[in-house]
């Protein structure tokens, strides 16, 4: 399954040089979130504007003019601005989360892909620490940079409104300080990375030397080892000194941009007052600098200067090496030659360990294209193991598996099958992004809507607001997540679909609709690990697994020659007082014993051990009849 993309496929140090470009692309792809973030931040601009403008008017038009009520009214306006700004800031955090989580998802996907592909030993650190550092640091950077921009705009507009000369006295040093800070960003990030590399090299050296001190002494290699260690210590010292020098420039930028304007306002106060600047305007200008611009610039310098460099270093490490686009979208499979089975298993045997009893033993199975197979049997008997073997997630100890003529495991076979497990995965992003993850190209909206209608997702799609609506996985029920995953599989080009209890959170009618949609999918072959015995009634063929032998045939054939299958089906026969038609099951099978049925009996379930029965209300998640959760 997929996750939102982190842009670009880059190589080695080129990743570092491309980080600004990749960041801009990341933001462009989420322009709606950025626009919403900017919209709420405008309220903060209004608050900043009133921070200096309202006190200035309170002095000039109120207190200094002898109108106390007017002065208090202007101060009340300033207080109202604080409340409005606080409301906007609260909404800003929600928008920031919509930027941060996709970044983290993309980084985690890259780390996992590299760990699986290259056996990278640093993958665990990337998942548990570095990805979280990137996420938290990125959130902080967005907050402080956004706050500085909108605070500066509000303050500069306020200064111009009070008296244009104030804009020159405050704006020019502010611009100079920000420019100096911007110039130091790239060198500072490079030197911070150099320091971290030197520190890691020294730690690695100590890790190798300390356990072998006895051997070093015995071999008389103290001087040689000490020389190599001293070189690494000197390298770290040089890196730390260089980092400190550039840190001084960061302090200088804060002094010029945030503190020099205060000195200039005080030094030029006589001149300003003599050229039409009112006392209130001068006080307002000081309020702008001390209460808004200086704190915002300090947060920017310390936040971006430290956290920004840290984020750049972490991203370079997470994106090091050859990193093509993660293989989230499957290619279109090559056409299957006529007469080739959609799935074939030859003497397949699998056990979880060399001394364990085989879960699957000498299994032979051939499915032609377009077949519909249901796999039933007691819990733990090997049904999910069988789908994992077909999907290539497990390898048999003996035997051969082919999907559309391609051996499993293999990239050709992987492109020809799609597996939907019981726990469906939905990622943060739009509904269209979730549904199109298994397609090499974006899915046309007409095709996407048709698939949603066929599988049963259309009501949810409309309730969420259409294909471009943002999906919050935690807000969806288990059944809704399964419908998203099922529609995603339906839209894929893979001819073989494996549903491993992928409808367990759906009610019987929704499950029937989804299975019939897959069975009618042009050129598609369906294998269903049955959650209810009604799934077996709908299938062309049924595979019964009992741990020792298997039985294969149609529903009618298995009723005649499989005692286990008869037991499963017989236990689901509806009681005379409650015909199956009451549950609207077209197969006339009481698929779920729901509460409130008079004389409701107990029922054998397809996923339980032989003879296991389940009391009324036996939805897998304990939900009410007809619900998805």
**pLDDT tens-place string over residues 245-287:** 777 888 888 899 889 999 999 999 999 998 889 999 999 999 9
What is the C-alpha separation between 52 and 36, in angstroms, rounded? Answer: 26
pLDDT bucket at 468, cuts 50 / 70 / 90: confident
Give residues with Cβ within 8 angstroms of 381, minimum separation 6. Answer: 359, 545, 546, 547
Residue 398, helix vs strand vs coil: strand
What is the C-alpha separation between 300 and 286, in angstroms, rounded? Answer: 20
pLDDT at 610 over 80: no
Cβ-count burial of 164 within 10 angstroms (0-12 exposed, 13-18 middle, 19+ buried)? exposed
Ramachandran angles phi, psi of 495, nearest 5°: -75, -25
* Structure confidence at residue 300 (pLDDT): 83
pLDDT at 482 over 80: yes
Buried-state track 28-42, b at ≥16 Cβ within 10 A, e below 16: eebeebbebbeebbe
Secondary structure of 232-263 as H, E, C letters? HHHHHHHHHHHHHHHHHHHHHHHHHHHHHHHH
Please give the share of the chain, as a percent, with pLDDT higher than 70. 76
pLDDT bucket at 593, cuts 50 / 70 / 90: very low
Q: Which of 146, 47, 46 is nearest to 93 (CA)?
A: 146
Per-residue pLDDT reduced to its tens digit, 286-328: 999 998 888 888 888 877 766 666 666 666 655 554 333 333 4
Per-residue pLDDT reduced to its tens digit, 558-591: 888 888 888 877 655 443 333 333 333 333 333 3
Average pLDDT, the chain: 76
pLDDT at 117 over 70: no
Give residues with Cβ within 8 angstroms of 258, minimum separation 6. Answer: 174, 177, 289, 293, 294, 297, 298
Give residues with Cβ within 8 angstroms of 541, minimum separation 6. Answer: 367, 371, 372, 373, 374, 552, 553, 554
* Structure confidence at residue 263 (pLDDT): 93
Per-residue pLDDT reduced to its tens digit, 211-235: 777 766 766 777 777 887 888 888 8
pLDDT at 626 over 90: no
Across 7-21, 328-342, 417-431, the highest mean pLDDT is recorded for 417-431
Element (DSSP H or E) covering residue 527: strand 525-529
What is the C-alpha separation between 233 and 223, in angstroms, rounded? Answer: 15
pLDDT bucket at 108, cuts 50 / 70 / 90: low
Average pLDDT (166-185) is 88
* Structure confidence at residue 283 (pLDDT): 92
What is the C-alpha separation between 441 and 53, in angstroms, rounded? Answer: 53
What is the C-alpha separation between 153 and 146, in angstroms, rounded? Answer: 11
What is the C-alpha separation between 480 and 424, in angstroms, rounded? Answer: 9
Average the pLDDT over each of 200-214, 309-323, 358-372, 486-500 and give the range with the smallest value: 309-323
* Structure confidence at residue 242 (pLDDT): 80
Average pLDDT (522-529) is 88
* Structure confidence at residue 130 (pLDDT): 61
Counted residue by residue, the chain has a size of: 629
All structural domains of the chain, each given as residue ranges with its CATH number in brackets, are 10-323 (1.20.1560.10), 343-564 (3.40.50.300)
* Structure confidence at residue 170 (pLDDT): 92
Residue 314, helix vs strand vs coil: helix
Antiparallel, parallel or unpaired: β 372-376 and 541-545: parallel
pLDDT higher at 106 or 123: 106
pLDDT at 549 over 90: no
Average pLDDT (589-608) is 38
* Structure confidence at residue 607 (pLDDT): 43
* Structure confidence at residue 579 (pLDDT): 38
pLDDT higher at 62 or 4: 62
Residue 65, helix vs strand vs coil: coil
Q: What is the DSSP letter of 499?
A: E
Question: Is-contact 324 7, C-beta < 8 A?
Answer: no
Structure-token pair, residue 446: 């007409």
Cβ-count burial of 606 within 10 angstroms (0-12 exposed, 13-18 middle, 19+ buried)? buried
Per-residue pLDDT reduced to its tens digit, 19-54: 567 667 777 777 888 888 888 888 888 888 888 899
Question: Is-contact 606 566, C-beta < 8 A?
Answer: no
* Structure confidence at residue 584 (pLDDT): 39
* Structure confidence at residue 269 (pLDDT): 92
CA separation, residue 328 to residues 108, 233, 274, 438 (Å): 13, 43, 68, 7
* Structure confidence at residue 618 (pLDDT): 36
Question: Is-contact 471 546, C-beta < 8 A?
Answer: no
Please give the share of the chain, as a percent, with pLDDT higher than 90. 11
* Structure confidence at residue 378 (pLDDT): 80
Provide the angle, in degrees to the nearest 10, between the axes of the packed helices 279-287 and 31-57.
140
Give residues with Cβ within 8 angstroms of 227, minimum separation 6. Answer: none
Average pLDDT (95-115) is 68
CA separation, residue 546 to residues 204, 518, 555, 562 (Å): 54, 26, 16, 10
pLDDT higher at 118 or 467: 467
What is the C-alpha separation between 629 and 193, in angstroms, rounded? Answer: 49
Residue 450, helix vs strand vs coil: helix
Buried-state track 509-540, b at ≥16 Cβ within 10 A, e below 16: ebbbbbbbbbbebeebbbbbbbbbbbbbbbbe
pLDDT higher at 165 or 590: 165
What is the C-alpha separation between 101 and 331, in angstroms, rounded? Answer: 27
Element (DSSP H or E) covering residue 365: strand 360-367
pLDDT at 132 over 90: no
What is the C-alpha separation between 591 and 622, in angstroms, rounded? Answer: 15
pLDDT bucket at 14, cuts 50 / 70 / 90: very low
pLDDT higher at 254 or 204: 254
pLDDT at 508 over 90: no
Average pLDDT (590-597) is 36
* Structure confidence at residue 275 (pLDDT): 85
């Amino acid at each position: 399954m997929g996750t939102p993309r982190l842009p670009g496929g880059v190589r080695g140090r080129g990743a570092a040089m491309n980080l600004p470009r990749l960041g801009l692309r990341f933001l462009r792809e989420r322009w709606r979130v950025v626009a919403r973030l900017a919209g709420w931040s405008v309220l903060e601009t209004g608050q900043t504007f009133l921070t200096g403008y309202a006190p200035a008017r309170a002095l000039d038009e109120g207190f200094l003019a002898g109108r106390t009520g007017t002065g208090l009214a202007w101060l009340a306006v300033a207080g109202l601005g604080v409340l409005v700004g606080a409301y906007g800031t609260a909404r800003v955090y929600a928008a920031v989360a919509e930027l941060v989580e996709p970044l983290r998802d993309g980084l985690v996907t890259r780390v996992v892909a590299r760990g699986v592909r290259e056996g990278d030993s640093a993958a665990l650190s990337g998942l548990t620490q570095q990805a979280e550092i990137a996420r938290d640091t990125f959130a902080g950077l967005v907050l402080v940079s956004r706050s500085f921009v909108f605070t500066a705009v509000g303050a500069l507009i306020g200064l111009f409104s009070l008296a244009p000369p104030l804009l020159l006295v405050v704006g020019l040093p502010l611009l100079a300080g920000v420019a100096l800070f911007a110039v130091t960003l790239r060198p500072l990030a490079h030197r911070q990375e150099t320091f971290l590399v030197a520190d890691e090299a020294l730690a690695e050296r100590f890790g190798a030397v300390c356990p072998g001190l006895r051997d070093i002494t015995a071999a008389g290699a103290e001087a040689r080892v000490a020389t190599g260690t001293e070189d690494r210590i000197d390298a770290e010292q040089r890196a730390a000194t260089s980092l400190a020098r550039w840190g001084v420039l960061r302090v200088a930028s804060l002094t010029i941009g945030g503190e020099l304007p205060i000195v200039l306002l005080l030094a030029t106060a006589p001149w300003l007052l003599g050229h039409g600047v009112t006392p209130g305007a001068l006080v307002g200008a000081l309020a702008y600098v001390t209460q808004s611009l200086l704190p915002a610039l300090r947060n920017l310098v310390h936040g971006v200067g430290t956290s920004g460099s840290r984020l750049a270093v972490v991203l370079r490490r997470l994106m090091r090496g050859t990193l093509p686009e993660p293989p989230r979208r499957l290619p279109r499979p090559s056409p299957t030659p006529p007469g080739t089975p959609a799935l074939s298993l030859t003497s397949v045997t699998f056990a979880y360990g060399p001394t364990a009893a085989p879960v699957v033993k000498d299994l032979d199975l051939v499915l032609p294209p377009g077949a519909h197979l249901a796999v039933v049997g007691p819990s733990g008997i090997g049904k999910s193991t069988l789908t994992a073997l077909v999907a290539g997630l497990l390898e048999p100890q003996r035997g051969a598996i082919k999907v559309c003529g391609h051996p499993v495991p293999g990239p050709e076979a992987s492109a020809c099958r799609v597996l939907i497990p019981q726990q469906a995965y939905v990622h943060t992003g739009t509904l269209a992004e979730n549904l199109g993850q298994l397609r090499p190209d974006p899915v046309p909206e007409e095709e996407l809507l048709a698939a949603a209608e066929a599988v049963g997702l259309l009501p949810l799609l409309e309730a969420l607001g259409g294909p471009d609506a943002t999906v919050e996985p935690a807000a969806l029920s288990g059944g809704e997540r399964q419908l998203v995953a099922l529609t995603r599989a339906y839209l894929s080009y893979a001819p073989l679909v494996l549903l491993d209890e992928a409808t367990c959170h759906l009610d019987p009618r929704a499950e029937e609709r989804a299975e019939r949609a897959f069975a009618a999918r042009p050129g598609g072959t369906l294998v269903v690990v049955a959650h209810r015995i009604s799934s077996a009634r709908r299938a062309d063929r049924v595979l019964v697994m009992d741990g020792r032998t298997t039985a294969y045939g149609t529903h009618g054939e298995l009723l005649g020659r499989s005692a286990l299958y008869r037991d499963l089906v017989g236990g689901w026969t509806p009681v005379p007082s409650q015909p199956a038609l009451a549950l609207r099951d077209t197969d006339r099978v009481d698929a779920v014993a729901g509460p409130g049925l008079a004389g409701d009996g107990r029922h054998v379930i397809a996923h339980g051990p032989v003879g296991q029965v389940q009391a009324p209300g036996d939805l897998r998640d304990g939900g009410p009849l007809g619900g998805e959760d």
